[in-house]
Structure 1
Amino acid sequence: MLKSTMKNLFFPSLRSQQIAITAFAFVLFVAVISLVLHTGTKKSVTLQVNGEKIEIKTSAHTVGQLLDSENIEVAEHDLVIPSVSTPIEEGLSIRWEQAKQVLIQLDEETTKVWTTDLNVGKILSEAGVDLQEHDIVTPSLNSNIEENQIINVQKAFQLTLINGGKEIPLWSTSTTVADFLKRENIQLNEHDRINGKMEDLVKPDSVVEVVRVEKVTDVVEEPTNFAVVTKSDAKMLKGREKVVQDGKKGSVERKFEIVKENGKEVSRTLLGERVIQEPQKKIVAVGSKVVVASASTSSKKSKAVVSRGTSAPSGGKEFYVTATAYTAHCNGCTGTTATGIDLRSNPNLKVIAVDPDVIPLGSKVWVEGYGYAIAGDTGGAIKGKRIDLHVPTKSAAYNFGRRQVKVKVID
């Protein structure tokens, strides 16, 4: 009984173990099968994240699910190619670029833009910035932007440069005159100047003028005038002159500093001079001898000086003149002739007023109808071949009137 009882108790325990082992094996089989089946449904794709490529297997159904599974959060301005709704296919290439914010400084205005590009030119094109040939962009259009870097755009405008008088239209950005000249490689020499200040800002339609200043030294030889010295000569009749010594011009060397602006002389300063040859004075002897003319009188005073009975002498220079008569008491008359004859004290003296260029003062003359006389006076109206006869009374002067007479210059 004991053996039989022991046998019956062992077999149920063994059966339980077999059942448990069989169940575990089944579960394990199912798990392996499920894993194999799950792995078999994954697809291989290439994911490019900010330029870095990785190969992955995924069971995600769309690009968006794949990015979520990779903990990639897609923001509004990020670049996803293809789109997040695109179904996942074997061998699909997915590109994700994270957008970043860039500052564009356009003259005085700052703009914020989101972009996934690094190239400066492309970023500005995406932002709608219209660039012209002479605009200045920093950093350059071909360069890539770096983190926290600002793109600076300076719009160019036209202005005028006047360099040494020559007008040149140019393009520039808003800058100082000094920087503008530096950019254009305009060098200022020692004495050059600009109309304005170097720190002034250039603006559209500005005029920047560079005045080219040149200082040169000029040495010239110039003539110097001679002095005229007069000396009294008692042997010569008063009113006569004689050149005793001719004058000669001298010469002097003068040194000048000449300032030219844009090639035109604006100032000349005398620095010094040196006499090369002294001038020779001109010496003129002036007669001081006073002559007293003699005159014949007639019994009729009014006829004494107009007698035509005196015959003409032989020899001498002969010509015709227009003759009038005057007295020592005429309006504006002093009574003393140009040669010093006192006619008021000697009313009967025969003296005529002449043009010294025609009849020299002090000459002895014969006048038709008047007789012998001295050319001893001048007059403001006595020019050329015209004479004025001195007579003692106003009535005699009126009676004489104006007439053509023959004159001979004897001495």
Structure 2
Amino acid sequence: MTQWIKQRISEFSWRKFAVSSVGLLTLMGILSFVIYEVTKISVTVEVENELTTVYTHASTVGEVLEERGIDVNVHDYIEPSENTALAEAMNIVYIPAQEVIVNVENDERTVWTIASTVQELMDELGIEVTEYDVIEPSLNENIVGNMQVNYQSAFPIILFSDGEEKEVWTTSTTVADFLERENIVLGELDRVEPSMEDVLESETEVNVVRVEKVTDVVEESVDFATVTRNDSSIERGSEKVLQSGKEGKIKKHYEVIFENDEEVSRELVKEEIVSESEDRIVAVGTKDPAPTVSRGSNVPAGEWMTFNATAYTAYCNGCSGTTYTGINLRENPDAKVIAVDPNVIPLGSRVEIDGWGTYLAADIGGAIKGKKIDIFIPDRDRVMRFGRQNVRIRIVD
């Protein structure tokens, strides 16, 4: 009996001890878990604008990101840096970089960026985009991996077109491309300076020349010719108009070129006769006059007398150019000759005209009668200005 009791006491003691050991281990495990959890620090992780609160035993920023399964690239943005020791309530910002192909002025390169929009990317690259520049995609487009961004900066061009001068900002490389972008259409004859293939640079002057070709028809008068015929029935020195002259008409067709509304060339391409001219026919007397008083004129030699004077040229209407005494005035324009009435001043006389000098009485005229003389002057304009005036003359010999 006593032995049985001792055995039971012994079994109870071992069971109690076993139960106490299991409880102690459990308690220690719970305590360890609690202590582990309680000793974690709290940090905030911001990934692409998304905030997450993290409790961790990590010692550095890099370890926290590794716990989050974030594979950090050398181009990524991390604040604070990866090797920064953690502290309670620390805020960690992580922005993954993206690879973007950027083509700036036809210079293509690959860049890594943390920009969220094309505008931010341009800011990162130090490129100021103006309203005239060309950029694709647009500035407010979101950045995605392997995106291609094309940028061309605009420059000023001086444009002369259709009577206007203005400054135009463009990204065109050639004159042809510039005109197309500005919706400037050239006509068949129009041209542009410089040529269409020329490369544009800042401040290049582009001149659009509008060319127009027109036909201009002008009606002009055609002078009639004067034809002289010798007539033995008319006294020498007199003449008679047998047929009045009549002007003809002719149409001239010109090809006229205008550049920017200004005439630059005119070429005669055709003539068309509207009406023929008719010659003026003049009969010139060849009949010798009745014998005249020679040297015994009624004008005393050496005595000053007043005569009425006119002037004529060798090319007056009906004039042959040769004097009554045979002097060719067209071949001798400097000859000092006057026409006289041979009944008053004998032909061949040397006559002094006050203020004009000495002249030879070598010609006659149908209207030169009495105390009249006609002075030969080779210049038609001087003849016209001379008109009719009184002069003092005397016969020298």
The amino acid across from 2:286 in the alignment is: K
Q: Shift of residue 213 of structure 1?
A: 1.3
- Aligned pairs, how many? 335
Q: 1:204 is paired with a residue of what secondary structure?
A: coil
**Residue 286 (structure 1) aligned with residue 286 (structure 2):** no
Q: Shift of residue 260 of structure 1?
A: 0.7
Alignment match, 1:89: 88
**Cα offsets for 1:251-295 (capped at 9, x unmatched):** 34444442211221012344656555x244133233363538758
Alignment match, 2:386: none
**Cα offsets for 1:133-154 (capped at 9, x unmatched):** 6444343333333332344443
Alignment match, 1:248: 246
Alignment match, 1:201: 199
Alignment match, 2:261: 263
8 Å CA contact 1:238–1:286 kept in 2: the answer is no
**Residue 405 (structure 1) aligned with residue 383 (structure 2):** no
Alignment match, 2:220: 222
**Cα offsets for 1:214-257 (capped at 9, x unmatched):** 23344444333334444443423456443222223243444444
**Cα offsets for 1:352-390 (capped at 9, x unmatched):** x964xx54xxx763426989xxx8758xxxx9448xxxx
Cα separation, 2, equivalents of 1:18 and 1:219: 138
The amino acid across from 1:285 in the alignment is: V
8 Å CA contact 1:63–1:94 kept in 2: the answer is yes
TM value normalised by structure 2: 0.65
8 Å CA contact 1:243–1:282 kept in 2: the answer is no
8 Å CA contact 2:248–2:278 kept in 1: the answer is no
**Cα offsets for 1:298-340 (capped at 9, x unmatched):** xxxxxxx64x4x657xxxxx96599xxxxxxxxxxxxxx8558
* Bigger Cα Rg: 1
Give me the identity figure in percent: 33
Structure 2 unaligned segments of length 5 or more: list them. 300-304, 310-321, 327-335, 350-360, 365-372, 377-392
Cα separation, 1, equivalents of 2:47 and 2:176: 48
The amino acid across from 2:395 in the alignment is: V
Cα separation, 1, equivalents of 2:20 and 2:307: 177
**Residue 144 (structure 1) aligned with residue 134 (structure 2):** no
Cα separation, 2, equivalents of 1:319 and 1:245: 37
**Cα offsets for 1:70-98 (capped at 9, x unmatched):** 232434442224554263535x6543111
Report the CA distance shift for 1:369/1:293 in structure 2 as closer, same or farther (over 3 A).
Answer: closer
8 Å CA contact 1:320–1:405 kept in 2: the answer is no
8 Å CA contact 1:251–1:279 kept in 2: the answer is yes
Alignment match, 1:332: none
The amino acid across from 1:243 in the alignment is: V
Cα separation, 1, equivalents of 2:237 and 2:3: 195
Report the CA distance shift for 1:7/1:217 in structure 2 as closer, same or farther (over 3 A).
Answer: farther
Superposition map of 1:109-148 within 5 A = 109-110=107-108, 113-131=111-129, 134-148=132-146
Instruction: Please give the root-mean-square deviation of Cα atoms over the aligned residues, in Å.
Output: 4.4
Structure 1 unaligned segments of length 5 or more: list them. 297-304, 313-317, 323-336, 342-352, 387-402, 407-411
Alignment match, 1:24: 22
The amino acid across from 1:405 in the alignment is: I
Q: 2:209 aligns with which of 208, 211, 217?
A: 211
Cα separation, 2, equivalents of 1:83 and 1:166: 61
